Homo-oligomer: A and B are copies of this chain.
Amino acid sequence: MPRLADLTPSEPMSKDVYRKRARELRRELLHAQLDLRDTPSNALLLVEGVDGGGKAETVQLFSDWMDPRWIRAHAFDAPSTEESERPDFWRYWRRLPARGRIAVFLSAWYSQVLIERVEGQSDAVFEGALARIRRFERMLVDDGMLIFKLWLHLDTESQARRFRELEADPLNRWRVTRRDWENWARSDRFAHAAQEILDATDTEKCPWQAVEASDDRRRAIEAGDLLLAALRRQIVSQGGVARPLESESERDSLDDRVERDAFAGKVRKSSYRDSLASLQSRLNELHRRARDAGTPLIGVFEGRDAAGKGGAIRRVVYALDVRRVDVVRIGPPTEEELLHHYLWRFWRRLPRAGYVTLFDRSWYGRVLAERVEDLAQEHEWRRAYEEINDFEQQLVDHGAVVVKIWLEIDREEQRSRFEERMRVPHKRWKLTEDDRRNRRLWDAYEPAIAEMLERTSTRAAPWVVIPANDKRYARLAVLEAFVAAIEAHGLGSEKGFELQTSTG
């Protein structure tokens, strides 16, 4: 890696160039994320660098570009009581990604060691901390993990300019603290310590990548390119295949996931884009109010296979602060979960105050799949309606916003989506035996769905049934449902709340 001092501001990237390359990158990163899932590997993305260098924006971007079900962002601040009662690295261990998954860590161990060094930590302690980091990273890499380490650099002048830009903007003034300027005054010491750290931890197995961050667009594209290359190397080294995008249909299909809709619909593309942007902006604003009010937000996505749950979830996540969102995909229960009441695994995943959990399928499996496929006995699923209503009542009583979405497609639409998947080699993984069986079970599901909607649409937690044959329409309606639910909670009435700017 180059010396940080050699990284100097270059030409800004034009909006057009950015758009084109960002679109390609998204497609390829999604692709690589899927390929990684076929290997026994996992990936940890460490985003570090100077304040004002766009760390948070980069974390948000990586999350937006990939499938939120398999990527999770974590920001580290002062340790919680529970964390400080364990060894330093406990809080990192508990958030390490499982195989097939990606975690993004913002301000993890390097931020800690950097601050301590600047505050005058002795050589011996500093060297000890670096050695521990090297051992820790090597151990994870030896176990098959990709550790992608990204350093976002700004020279002193660019950093000051960035701070002043933020201060000039009434909506972002709060982002620049006195502490930032104090640190800026010591930026030589920071730069020196940063270079020491990078030199000492730039190992063969865990190399650093550095990006000059003064231009937002260029930074985003360079960071994405480096990540893509690292993912591809990892996939190959783990015996997987990092496939280039070959056919047109494949491109189209992935395009669908990144924005363009492969399915004809009543909502026109141009109006869709505008409505999407405006709803996401509104949802972002409400999400920040919910965060500040300490309100947990719980989203439930249900619908038949291929109803578009994943795509709808992505549009919701895009509007949220990914450091506060957990997308939980519910499949068959694990061994451990089977040893407990069926609701136990959902209780475990409830969000903290101000956080969000989105369930891609949920406890309703008890009265849908488990009922239809005879995995629960009749008296078990019969009593589940009341148990579920009681559970949701407790969530609402606690002050949570609960949004339950049913995406409704018809048989014809499901068939055409399945056929679409068959045509795209890369999407075949989604078309499992289960899907085919579920198609056969279409009729059997009908009364189960009807009874579920009837018996669990309560005042506290009503179902929002959304016609989903038109994907664009459905996604907008999902966003509207979230906006309406948070507003109904009394969080929508204040005026003049600042908008979040996305510099990525």
Q: How many copies does the complex hold?
A: 2
Produce 1/0 per residue, A29-73, CB < 8 A to B: 000000000000010000000000000000000000000000000
A380 to B344, CA, bound (A): 35
User: From residue A341, how far is it (CB to closest CB) to chain B in Å?
Assistant: 5
**B100 and A339: CB pair below 8 A?**
yes
- CB within 8 Å of B: which A138-185 residues: 139-140, 142-143, 145
A495 to B394, CA, bound (A): 50
User: From residue A108, how far is it (CB to closest CB) to chain B in Å?
Assistant: 15
A386 to B352, CA, bound (A): 37
**Closest residue to A379 on the B side, CB-wise?**
B142
Bin the interface of chain A by size. Answer: 35 or more
A98 to B343, CA, bound (A): 13
- CB within 8 Å of B: which A283-342 residues: 294, 296, 334-336, 339-342
User: From residue A408, how far is it (CB to closest CB) to chain B in Å?
Assistant: 30
Residues of B within 8 A of A142 (CB): 380, 383
**Which residue of B100, B139, B347 contacts A341 across the interface (Cβ within 8 Å)?**
B139
**A296 and B85: CB pair below 8 A?**
yes
Residues of B within 8 A of A88 (CB): 394, 398
**B86 and A352: CB pair below 8 A?**
yes
A94 to B395, CA, bound (A): 15
Residues of B within 8 A of A387 (CB): 139
A400 to B93, CA, bound (A): 18
24 A-B pairs whose Cβ atoms sit less than 8 Å apart in the complex: A82-B352, A85-B353, A86-B296, A86-B350, A87-B350, A87-B395, A87-B397, A88-B398, A89-B347, A93-B347, A96-B340, A96-B341, A98-B336, A99-B340, A100-B339, A132-B394, A135-B386, A135-B390, A139-B383, A139-B387, A140-B341, A143-B341, A143-B342, A145-B341
Binding site for B on A (CB under 8 A): 42, 80-82, 85-90, 93-94, 96, 98-100, 132, 135, 139-140, 142-143, 145, 294, 296, 334-336, 339-344, 347-348, 350, 352-353, 380, 383, 386-387, 390, 394-395, 397-398, 400
